[in-house]
Each structure stands twice: as structure tokens, then as C-alpha cells.
Chains A and B, each alone.
Chain A
């Protein structure tokens, strides 16, 4: 089942001054449960693609269909609400609200969704346990390592029960051990919760863990490869 479909997506920055063609006709379909890495050289359009899929930026032409909804048709508050209920975000850094604890950061998204307290409590502890931070629930972001902060961000992204999670270079600020650890957690959540992940990365070790690797160059998809699970490769 298709969760995301982009049709002939193009993006031109600064069309009136110095036009930059960041995306040139990207057609991409993502099925439920996929674990997809978007890779490519710097400036190839990875961030631009993820931003447009996530409804954070507008395409110049083409469209993004999420679960049958053309998100370009959503305006203002409706778009914000759509993001809240359908998309989980993990950014490269500064994901968390500094004044809230790990637990509160995860709960925050569910509060925005007006979920009942019992459900919130259960889901928050389940998720923080899943990302291995059950002993850090009362810690504020400043008391957590970069890797731990990103794990909280992943937990928060999942808390809203979104259709999929978008992560733009989630491991860029992490050392390789933390990066692999974060990816392993994402993979496990992908398998256990059948959560769809789309993330961009430069890191080979991260790419190795992806099930599908979409390569961009100059705003175009130049290759789209399905890989086997890491264990299967090992075997």
C-alpha cells in the first residue's frame, strides 16, 4: 500500500533572482513499512525532497500525495494539523524542547493531539523503553548526550502514531557508534511497529542498514535499490 507518492516533483529556489533547480521531476513511491535512505552528494536535493514530502516547503511543480491527500491543497492550520497527525519528524539537531524532560518531550506531541492521559503515559514509557532510555525519562535534553537526544527525538516522532517518519540526516551530529545504535533502534521500530522511515544520510554504515536506497543527483533520482536485511547479508 502506497503511503507516499511524489509526481514529477520539481523545486526551484529563488526563481526571480538566481534560480537554483534543487529538484527536477522526482517520481517516488513509498510503501507502508519501508525503511528508505535518501542518499547523494551534498546539494543533490535530499533536504529539499524531505521538506516537501513533510509539508514544510512547497514544490514549484508536481505534487505530493500522502494516503490519498494532495498536501499542496492543505493550507495554514490544516497543514500543521496534517503534519501533527500523519508525519513524525527527526531533524539533524535541536529537535527537543530544552525546558521539557525526555518524558515530557515525547508526551508533548500527544498532548497536542489531545490524547487521554492513560494512553500518553503508556505510550511514553513504551517508547522510551524501546529507545533504551527508560532510566533517563526525567532528564532534560541538556543532560543527555547527542545520541540520547536523537533517540528521544525518534521516540517523539513515533508517539503521534504517524503514517511515516521523516529524518533528515539524523545521525550527522553523532559519533559512529551512536549513529549505528540509533539506526538499530529505528530498524527495530520499523520491524516491530511496521513504521515507515525515510531518512537522508551520508554515512555508509547507516546506508548499509537501509532496506531501500534512493540516490539523488542534481535533483533527480539516479538509482533506486532494494537491499536485503543486514542479517541476511551477514548470513
Chain B
């Protein structure tokens, strides 16, 4: 009976119900899209930096982080690698040799980060190959190099061109090499994209005269695995003088940017929720006050207050459910569309984002968890706001003391 009453009361003032539902719908869609976008930015940042490049933790020589010279290289420890092979939490690991060099093409020169990688392993674990922009991934051809997209633009070179590199190798040996650019790559981090040169590991070792040696072993974890737990597990297996470097420490800029995006997310959502709360509250206030007379009659003829409260509560919850459900339904195509056609900033805006280390291409994340959260928050808000009406009902008197 109360259900019927509430339901019919909704349609008493169709226009108002419609406007309220529409505003909730809009708010839910907006919140979902916004959140999907910001979570997407975060995820992309972590994915491109952590999942593709740095790994979640890196095994390094203890001094490497402070002194990134080739002195702090090592030959991978057998015991450690076989242990890593057996850990179910670990998606994979690889070995890299990283150091700096000068790169030049025609008459332009730039300091670059040379990274020797194991092409097959990286491809399997991180899907590095999918980041190739132009040209090809490594196919085992000697002398091949893949360079960052930004670097390619800066040096004005493309696949097929030649890159000459000069540097200092292990034990002060001088390093020099001529490479053939087979592809350009976009890592999604402007820092990397403007400085990166990938070589195959043996060739990098040759270039730096650091035979069999590497600077780091990035370890990539499976999804939903606790990084802390893995660190704790690995610690005892580490050989003397080695450390586990977490990505948060290796990339403080990313960590900061993630925090920034998160803060932005909370502010935007809070504002949105405040706005929508006023909308819902307005409806509830009107819904209650214009019916005070009727509620007094109900109280007079013997309807208990709690039943009236349930009736009003149900009305606001029904409005919220309809709005939130429609919002949920509309969010999916909107967010999916933005996932397939990501917002791309160009020009100055792009530069602004990039200066924070954020890629100016922003795909959304299609995550039903996000949708559900916001729908539930709206629902909860409408219940909370109904307390206005419940309080009114609690103090309702058939005969008012003053008039």
C-alpha cells in the first residue's frame, strides 16, 4: 500500500519528478565520465610508466640509484632469477642496461638515455611492441635502434635513418656506435619519449663495454597483487648489496602527478555531489511542504508517523533509483565512446599536461565499479537528504499550536 502511494505520488508532479530524475541522471553520467577519465589518466600513467617501463620494483645494486654509473652494474644472480621464475605473483621480469650517451643525427645532438633490453621478453611481459609508432620492433637485425617519438621529432629523423652515439663505457672505456633506426616508440611519458633510445641488450653491453652486465632487473607483477607483499617475500632472497627499488621511489614525478589527479578527482566529485544534493533537497522540500495538509489528515485518521516516513523516503529513493539507473545506463555508452575516442589535447594544453608528466591523450576506463559507486552515492545522498522530510513528519501536529 505504501509502495503504491509513493509510486503514484511520484507522478503527481510529473514535470518536477522528470526534472529531478534528469538532473540526477546528468550528475551520475557526469560523475561517471569524469571519474572514468581521471581514473583512466591515472591508470594510463601507471600502466605506461610502471607496467610498461619501470616495472613495479627493480632489483638494483644498492648504490645505483644515487650513482647511476656503470660501476654499479651487475651480472644477474642465478638464485634470484630462478626464484622469480617460480613466484606466481610475478608476471615476468627482464634485465636492462641503462646509461646515458650523446646522440646525433645530421647536425643535431642531444643527450639521451640508452636502454638495452631483451626484446622478446619485453614484448611478452609489457607488450612493448604495441607502443611502436612508426617503423618496426626489433627483429634481431644487428645495429637496430628504436627511439622515442619526441626524440625522433627533435632530431628530425625517422625509421631508416642513421643515429650516431658517443658516450663513456664501463671502466672509462669510450663508447661509440652507429645505429640504424628501425622504429619510433611512444611510451606515454614525455620524459621518456623525448630521451629514449632502445638497443638490444647485447648491443648495449657491447656499446658500453659492459659485457654480461646489467643495471637493473624490472619485475612486473600480475594484476591485483600486493606490491608490498612481494617486496617482503623477495627481500631475503636478494644477494648482498642489492636492493628492491619500488616504482614510487623511482618516479616521484609520477607519484606526485597521481596524487594531483586524485585530488582533482575528489574536488570535482565533491562539487558535483553538493550541486546534485541541492537539487534533490529542493524536490524533497517541495514534496513535503506542499503536502503538509494531506499529511496532517493522514496523521489525524490514524496513519502512524513511521509509515508516512517510509512513504516519503521511498519517494525520494525511487526518484534517485530511476535517475541513478538511467545514469548508469547512459554512462556506459558515453564512457565507452570516450574510451575508443580518447580526448586528445594539442598545442599549449598538451604542453601543460606534459609538463606534469601526463600524456595528453586521455582514454577513459570502462569500469562498472565506478558506475556502481556513483549510483550508490547518489542513492545514499537522497536517503540522507530525506531526513529533512522525516524530521518534518516527526514534528507534524494535526492542530498547530500557533496560527
Instruction: Report which A residues bind B (CB closer than 8 A).
Output: 13-14, 51, 54, 56-57, 77, 80-81, 83-85, 89, 91, 94-95, 97-100, 108-109, 111-112, 156, 160
Contacts and interface: CB of A to CB of B under 8 A. Distances in A.
B72 interface: no
A150 to B, nearest CB: 13
B319 to A, nearest CB: 15
A52 B206 CA distance: 103
10 contacts: A51-B398, A80-B305, A81-B302, A81-B304, A83-B302, A89-B300, A94-B297, A99-B5, A112-B303, A160-B302
A23 to B, nearest CB: 13
B293 interface: yes
A109 B301 contact: yes
B9 interface: yes
Contacts of B304: 77, 80-81
B298 A99 contact: no
A114 to B, nearest CB: 10
A80 B303 contact: yes
B301 A84 contact: yes
A199 to B, nearest CB: 15
B297 A84 contact: no
Given A14-B402, A84-B302, A99-B5, 4 more contacts: A57-B399, A83-B301, A94-B297, A99-B12
Report the contact-size class of chain B (Cβ under 8 Å from the partner).
20 to 34
B156 interface: no
B229 interface: no
Contacts of A85: 302
Contacts of A54: 300
A56 B399 contact: yes
A77 to B, nearest CB: 6
- Name, among A14, A51, A56, A109, the residue most crowded by chain B CB atoms within 10 Å (CB to CB): A56
Interface of B: 1, 5, 8-9, 11-12, 293-294, 297-305, 307, 398-399, 401-402
A196 B305 CA distance: 28
B245 to A, nearest CB: 67
B3 to A, nearest CB: 12
Contacts of B401: 13
Contacts of B11: 99
Given A56-B399, A57-B399, A94-B294, A83 B300 contact: yes
Contacts of A111: 1
A89 B402 contact: no
Contact of A112 (B9, B297, B302, B402): B302
Contacts of A83: 300-302
A109 B302 contact: yes
B90 to A, nearest CB: 63
B60 to A, nearest CB: 72
A11 to B, nearest CB: 10
Contacts of B303: 80, 84, 112
Contacts of B300: 54, 56, 83, 89, 91
Given A57-B399, A91-B297, A99 B8 contact: yes
Nearest to B6: A99
- Name, among B12, B297, B300, B303, the residue most crowded by chain A CB atoms within 10 Å (CB to CB): B300
Given A80-B299, A84-B302, A94 B293 contact: yes
Contacts of B12: 98-99
Nearest to A76: B305
Nearest to A79: B302
A173 B294 CA distance: 17
A230 B228 CA distance: 95
Contacts of B5: 97, 99-100
Nearest to A109: B301
Contacts of B398: 51, 56-57
B315 to A, nearest CB: 11
A104 to B, nearest CB: 8
- Name, among A85, A99, A100, A160, the residue most crowded by chain B CB atoms within 10 Å (CB to CB): A99
Contacts of B302: 80-81, 83-85, 109, 112, 160
Contacts of A77: 304-305
Given A77-B304, A80-B303, A97 B294 contact: yes
Nearest to B402: A14
- Name, among A51, A94, A109, A112, the residue most crowded by chain B CB atoms within 10 Å (CB to CB): A112
Nearest to A160: B302
A1 B165 CA distance: 116
Contacts of A94: 293-294, 297
Contacts of B301: 83-84, 89, 109, 112, 156
A97 B303 CA distance: 12
